[in-house]
Amino acid sequence: MAHALDRHVALVGFMGAGKSTLGSQVAERLGRRFVDLDRQLEHSLQQSIPEVFERRGEAGFRVLEAEATLEALRNERPAVLALGGGAVEAEAIRRALREHALTVHVEVDAGTAWTRAGGAGRPLASDETSFRELFDRRQPLYRDVGDAVAHDVDGIVLAAAGIVVEAGLLSRLGEVVPQGELEVVADATVLGLHRPPLDAPVYALRDGEEAKSIRAVERLWRELRLERDGTIVAFGGGCTTDAAGFVAATYLRGVAWVAVPTTLVGQVDAAIGGKTAVNLPEGKNLVGAFHWPVRTAIDPELLETLPAVERRAGMAEVVKTGLLAGEAFWEREAAELVRACAAYKAAVCLRDPHERGERAVLNLGHTFAHALEAAGDYRRPSHGEAVALGLLAALRLSGLETTAVEEVLQPQRVRVNRDAAWAALARDKKARNGRSRLVLLEAPGKPVTGVELPEERVRAALDELIAE
Ligand SMILES: NC(=O)c1ccc[n+]([C@@H]2O[C@H](COP(=O)([O-])OP(=O)(O)OC[C@H]3O[C@@H](n4cnc5c(N)ncnc54)[C@H](O)[C@@H]3O)[C@@H](O)[C@H]2O)c1
Ligand SMILES: [Zn+2]
């Protein structure tokens, strides 16, 4: 299975892997119920697992475990489930996992597992030799049933969103794209620098917003030769993934697609969350669709060729994400920074896949940014520069420190018409029934949406971003 948008996230793995602890944290991040099957069984029987083993034997326990696990898997409301360590030995459970869940193997080595679980009164963990034998017997089952392997909360969240982040992943792209027919839609400039190692036709798109035009999309609609069960692979920055994703959403009424983002903006933002779009002469992103890629393959090494100006554009979204998460993601090295930001956005989007509410937090700094971009006719400031300024305004209105934004992004006041910027901000507001859509922070890591502030304060904050 590719992602857990409308299915359970099921955690499997050996005793001591941390399924219960990680499971409850993942459930919290995804806003889902958490079902810990061992605990649930103990609760419903009013007996501890060792007591159940003693009274009914292992076979008796397995029957009860299978009943409870199958029932949880057949429940339609997507949850996060932590399965008992031995549940995967039952064929019926493995089948139900394939049908109803995205299964993540929470991996642990035998030594660590023994240190954590050995001798702790667990029925199958009293003697180290048989513990290790059991470990060896179950490994192939976890591997077989797992759609992904993870070791931490971010890893499970990324797996749930169908995202793989790994340095050097491009060279192994063939392993993460679906089987079957593929066609690649790629940014022409990026193709001159990197080549996806796939045996598939390649369609080049002009770089930049040019790609997100009806004309470019129409060309692809007419030239692609893929059948309904084929997959489009989008290779490039946010413009490429937005356009190719939109083509995938519409071509033959929708085919699967894989996003392979090559810019920092793409890896931490544009290629995550399933929004695709093209532009009209009337405005940006006016036509589009929600169409979640079956896989998002992120190789942070691709960023080594990225021009500095594009890196800065991405850093604005990195700082935004770090402020939302309450962690200084921007201080981490490239691969870690990308992974943390991608996991943060993935969790928000899994909670709110169709942007009905919570996802609005991702607009932190963007109301001001859009006003400045509109006032500059979308030529200057760039989106990244505008977001840096917008974050400054959002932090000031939140009464918070602006040092990180100032040091990392070095926002420069822009020369645009003040009235035009204010009019654009007011238009943005009117478009949403006059309700202000400001996203502010109660504290780093605590975003609040829909904040209404007196007009003078908002206008003053906007004015402060404008030169002269
Ligand atoms: N769908 C979403 O949720 C979402 C979110 C944020 C942004 N977006 C969209 O993303 C677009 C911006 O994306 P972007 O900033 O990635 O721009 P982009 O796709 O235009 O790429 C920027 C430039 O970098 C070049 N480039 C790309 N990868 C490179 C690499 N590895 N090495 C060297 N050069 C490389 C490209 O050729 C291009 O010139 C906007 O249209 C925006 O609307 C979408
Ligand atoms: Zn942005």
Kindly state the tokens that stand for 253.
């009424």
The atom of ligand 1 lying closest to the CA of 242 is 1
Cα dist from 246 to 119, 290, 303, 420, 436, whole Å = 55, 8, 24, 32, 29
The tens digit of pLDDT for each residue in 114-136 reads 999 987 778 888 899 999 999 99
Q: In terms of pLDDT, which residue wins out, 86 or 436?
A: 86
Q: What is the residue type of 405?
A: V
Which stretch of DSSP H or E encloses residue 53? helix 49-74
For residue 465, pLDDT over 90 is answered with yes
Read off the pLDDT of residues 12-62 as tens digits, 9 standing for 90 and up. 999 999 999 999 999 999 999 999 999 999 999 999 999 999 999 999 999
Average pLDDT of every residue of the chain: 95
- Gap from CA of 383 to ligand 2 centroid (Å): 6
pLDDT tens-digit readout, 60-70:
999 999 999 99
**Tens digits of residue pLDDT in 333-385:** 999 999 999 999 999 999 999 989 899 999 999 999 999 999 999 999 999 99
DSSP at 371: H
Q: With left for phi above 0 and alpha for psi between -120 and 50, is residue 107 left, alpha or beta?
A: beta
pLDDT on residue 3: 95
The interaxial angle of helices 366-375 and 418-430, nearest 10 deg, is: 130
**pTM higher than 0.85, yes or no?**
yes
Active site residues: 253, 275, 317, 345, 355, 359, 363, 366, 370, 383
Q: Which atom of ligand 1 is nearest to the CA of 303?
A: 31
Residue 212 and residue 219 in contact, taking contact as beta carbons nearer than 8 Å: no
User: Over pLDDT 90: what percentage of the chain?
Assistant: 91
Amino acid at 438: L
Rounded Cα–Cα distance for residues 17 and 105 (Å): 9
DSSP letter assigned to residue 178: P
**Would you say the CB of residue 286 lies under 6 angstroms from ligand 1?**
no
- The whole-number pLDDT of residue 118 equals 86
Ligand 2 mean position, distance from CA 356 (Å): 18
Residue 426 has a pLDDT of 87
> Which ligand lies nearest to the CA atom of residue 366 in the structure?
2
Q: Which of 341, 162, 343 is CA-nearest to residue 259? A: 162
Instruction: Say how far apart CA 393 and CA 368 lie, in whole Å.
Output: 7
Q: What integer pLDDT is reported at residue 119 of this predicted model? A: 77
In sequence order, what are the residues at sequence separation of 6 or more whose Cβ sits closer than 8 angstroms to the Cβ of residue 108?
13, 14, 16, 17, 18, 116
DSSP for residue 466: B
- Rounded distance from Cα 313 to ligand 2 centre (Å): 9
Mean pLDDT of 183-196: 97
